[in-house]
Chains A and B, each alone.
Chain A
Amino acid sequence: MQYQSQAVAKLYFTAAMALFLAQIVFGLIMGLQYVMGDFLFPEIPFNVARMVHTNTLIVWLLMGFMGAAYYLVPEESGRELYSPFLAKLMFWIFLVAAGLTVVGYLAVPYATLAKITGNDLLPTMGREFLEQPTITKMGIVVVALAFLYNIGMTVLTGRKTVVTIVLLTGLLGLAVFFLFSFYNPDNLVKDKYFWWWVVHLWVEGVWELILASILAFVLIKTTGVDREVIEKWLYIIIAMTLITGIIGTGHHYYWIGTPGYWQWWGSIFSALEPIPFFMLTLFAFNTINKRKREHPNKATVLWAMGTAVMAFLGAGVWGFMHTLAPVNYYTHGTQITAAHGHMAFYGAYAMVVMTIISYAVPLMRGQEAKSNGKQVLEMWSFWLMTVSIVFITLFLTGAGILQTYLQRYTDTPLSFMVVQEKISLFYWMREASGVVFFVGAILFLLSFLPDRKAAA
């Protein structure tokens, strides 16, 4: 670690990992509720568990991105962070706001939470992934603005690199599109239309820029390949991301009351969305093959390769599977979507955050890499988590194909709940894979415990 202020990233990484564990626990609870409907009822109903599962995911990824930015921007810019104090202050504000929100979800019924937090003054609640009370949303805006200011000042007054410019663009886009969460039109079609501007343009637009720049940073550091080469890849990847991803939003606009041309626009552009992810895979493997040094942190290189592969499979392949309008006509909102969601979020975003954690945390402790034993443990956690997410995805895909067939495609369609009973075996297997995933996550954290015999 070259600059003292990079250390603020540690706070963000720690909180991200804590929320990651919470996310998995609530995922396990929900997974069980799929097959044992009244498990933990009425304390934690399914809708609440789901809300906590998805919201903690978003917050821990945001925490991870912020931590990554606080770590890599000073090093790239060649100067200390503009204001380490602001970074720490915002961390605590963000953490407390996130914590209170989760407590709110769990402690009182959602309608009561809406009433307490004054949702009627500026109604923004009640929409999937954007369930946060309006005041929490405002808090997120404040945190994001202060964060952007801090990072922006560091980038602009320091050395500007392609990595930081792409990262800053992505973060700026993240903040701008979040503002659409405050726009809540009464017309349900318009509501959904703009809701996707947050959800889709985040994960299939600006987040990809953040992902690509974090990965590029780690690859520059671990492989010693020339910056110029990596920057060219970065340009091509972000160009393709934006060409395909922006109009690709159309794949969410099928049959929801939007004009019919979206079926064509959405199908054509989103069919090409796997390309930037495939380029990301080529980029990572090419760079690692041409490495000019053997970085002692082997685990990080494994994570970087894993991110590139799993992002392509989860976001690219599993996304393509149901992106064409005629296919989506049958699969819309089935377990196919859930399968894609699990592998894409893990493969693209969870893994890139773990990549930067894996790279940065040893350096923050003043060592280039962890001890061999700890790295082996970390690699175990990599394989456990990655293989079990593959199984979760395959089981959900199996469930989704059956569901699509039995409920929608066959000549004698069955009702939703009857179908759910029939595919419960897949849900059980998914739950078992989830437990393995949880073990993997625990091992990941254990591999970061400080060495006991470390010289004081």
Chain B
Amino acid sequence: MWIFILAELLVFAIFFSSYAFARSGNVELFNHYQQTLNRNIGAANTVILLTGSLFVVLAVQAVKVGKLTQCRNWLLAGVGSGALFVILKSVEFADKFAQGISLSTNTFYMFYLSLTFFHFMHVILGMIILAAVAWKAQAGDYSAAEHTGVETGASYWHMVDLVWVVLFPLVYVIR
């Protein structure tokens, strides 16, 4: 799983570098269109994802002392925060699409849409992974002694979170 996570981070890292490279060739365009992004939703989503990560940390702590039901509940709370993120992000996407913005509008929007969409898909995958782990916790597959599955799922979720924490300032804020 660690190799998988590192590989995912590598993909995003190259994407971020490409963004920086493209921006350096066209700073004005990037700054101009950056203003059109919805920073409020972006900030709210940052808080939501970080909160989700907290829930996941609590889930890992719960399983370490053998509290499986609590672990499951925290994991589900994590899935819930993911769902909230997805809803808000969809509102943001819908707004952009309503304005007729697409991947071909300009280089900035190409990066904005690609990066946020790839991340969006990772949030959904993260939710699926957390839900699967919660399901197994419910079934009693983990214990204080053996809970690698919970930690692995948590690691993936933190990766999704980490990518957003880089993505949000990079694409929405930094000028």
Query: How far apart are the CA atoms of A243 and B18 in the complex, in Å?
Result: 18
Given contacts A260-B104, A261-B103, A261-B104, contact A243 B7 (CB under 8 A): yes
Q: Does A12 contact B (CB under 8 A)?
A: no
In contact, A269 and B4 (Cβ under 8 angstroms): no
Q: Does B10 contact A (CB under 8 A)?
A: yes
In contact, A260 and B14 (Cβ under 8 angstroms): no
Q: Does B8 contact A (CB under 8 A)?
A: yes
In contact, B15 and A268 (Cβ under 8 angstroms): yes
Write the B76-116 contact mask toward A (1 if CB under 8 angstroms, else 0): 00000000000000000000000000011000001100100
Q: Does A272 contact B (CB under 8 A)?
A: yes
- Identity of the chain B residue whose Cβ is nearest the Cβ of A269 in the assembled complex: B11
Q: Does A240 contact B (CB under 8 A)?
A: yes
Write the B46-77 contact mask toward A (1 if CB under 8 angstroms, else 0): 00000000000000000000000000000000
Please tell me which one of the listed residues B4, B10, B18 contacts residue A264 in the complex, with CB atoms under 8 A apart.
B18
Please tell me which one of the listed residues B7, B15, B18 contacts residue A275 in the complex, with CB atoms under 8 A apart.
B7
Q: Does A29 contact B (CB under 8 A)?
A: no
Given contacts A239-B4, A259-B104, contact A264 B114 (CB under 8 A): yes
Residues in chain B near residue A264, CB distance under 8 A:
18, 22, 110-111, 114
In contact, A272 and B14 (Cβ under 8 angstroms): yes
In contact, B14 and A271 (Cβ under 8 angstroms): yes
Query: How far apart are the CA atoms of A111 and B138 in the complex, in Å?
Result: 65
Q: Does B174 contact A (CB under 8 A)?
A: no
Residues in chain A near residue B145, CB distance under 8 A:
none
- Identity of the chain A residue whose Cβ is nearest the Cβ of B111 in the assembled complex: A264
| Interchain nearest-CB distance for A233 vs B (Å) | 10
- Identity of the chain B residue whose Cβ is nearest the Cβ of A267 in the assembled complex: B18
In contact, A243 and B110 (Cβ under 8 angstroms): no
Write the B1-22 contact mask toward A (1 if CB under 8 angstroms, else 0): 0011001101100110010001
Residues in chain B near residue A261, CB distance under 8 A:
103-104, 110, 114
Residues of chain B in range 107-128 having any CB-CB distance to chain A below 8 Å: 110-111, 114
| Interchain nearest-CB distance for B129 vs A (Å) | 13
Given contacts A236-B3, A236-B4, A240-B7, contact A259 B14 (CB under 8 A): no
In contact, A272 and B10 (Cβ under 8 angstroms): yes
Query: How far apart are the CA atoms of A452 and B22 in the complex, in Å?
Result: 68
A interface, over-half SS: helix
Residues in chain A near residue B110, CB distance under 8 A:
260-261, 264
Given contacts A259-B103, A261-B103, contact A268 B14 (CB under 8 A): yes
Query: How far apart are the CA atoms of A268 and B118 in the complex, in Å?
Result: 13
Residues in chain A near residue B11, CB distance under 8 A:
243-244, 268-269, 272
- Identity of the chain A residue whose Cβ is nearest the Cβ of B109 in the assembled complex: A261
In contact, A268 and B18 (Cβ under 8 angstroms): yes
Q: Does A265 contact B (CB under 8 A)?
A: yes
| Interchain nearest-CB distance for A137 vs B (Å) | 33
Query: How far apart are the CA atoms of A261 and B110 in the complex, in Å?
Result: 6
Please tell me which one of the listed residues B4, B7, B8, B114 contacts residue A265 in the complex, with CB atoms under 8 A apart.
B114
Query: How far apart are the CA atoms of A268 and B22 in the complex, in Å?
Result: 13
- Identity of the chain B residue whose Cβ is nearest the Cβ of A265 in the assembled complex: B114
Query: How far apart are the CA atoms of A264 and B22 in the complex, in Å?
Result: 10
Query: How far apart are the CA atoms of A272 and B18 in the complex, in Å?
Result: 14
Query: How far apart are the CA atoms of A264 and B107 in the complex, in Å?
Result: 10
Query: How far apart are the CA atoms of A35 and B160 in the complex, in Å?
Result: 56
- Identity of the chain A residue whose Cβ is nearest the Cβ of B7 in the assembled complex: A240
Residues in chain A near residue B22, CB distance under 8 A:
264
Query: How far apart are the CA atoms of A110 and B49 in the complex, in Å?
Result: 60
| Interchain nearest-CB distance for A373 vs B (Å) | 43
| Interchain nearest-CB distance for A49 vs B (Å) | 41
| Interchain nearest-CB distance for B82 vs A (Å) | 20
Write the A248-278 contact mask toward B (1 if CB under 8 angstroms, else 0): 0000000000011100110111011001000
Query: How far apart are the CA atoms of A272 and B12 in the complex, in Å?
Result: 11
| Interchain nearest-CB distance for B103 vs A (Å) | 4
Residues in chain A near residue B14, CB distance under 8 A:
268, 271-272
Residues in chain A near residue B104, CB distance under 8 A:
259-261
- Identity of the chain A residue whose Cβ is nearest the Cβ of B19 in the assembled complex: A264
Which of B3, B8, B18, B104 has the most chain A CB atoms closer than 10 A to its own CB? B3
Residues in chain B near residue A275, CB distance under 8 A:
7, 10
Query: How far apart are the CA atoms of A275 and B14 in the complex, in Å?
Result: 14
In contact, A243 and B8 (Cβ under 8 angstroms): yes
Query: How far apart are the CA atoms of A267 and B114 in the complex, in Å?
Result: 13
- Identity of the chain B residue whose Cβ is nearest the Cβ of A235 in the assembled complex: B4
| Interchain nearest-CB distance for A260 vs B (Å) | 6
Residues in chain A near residue B103, CB distance under 8 A:
259, 261
| Interchain nearest-CB distance for B158 vs A (Å) | 19
Q: List 16 A-B contacts (CB under 8 A).
A: A236-B3, A239-B7, A244-B11, A259-B104, A260-B104, A261-B110, A261-B114, A264-B111, A267-B18, A268-B11, A268-B18, A269-B11, A271-B14, A272-B10, A272-B11, A272-B14
**New A-B pairs, 20, CB < 8 Å, besides A244-B11, A272-B7, A272-B11:** A236-B3, A236-B4, A239-B7, A243-B8, A260-B104, A261-B103, A261-B114, A264-B18, A264-B110, A264-B111, A264-B114, A265-B114, A268-B11, A268-B15, A268-B18, A271-B14, A272-B10, A272-B14, A275-B7, A275-B10
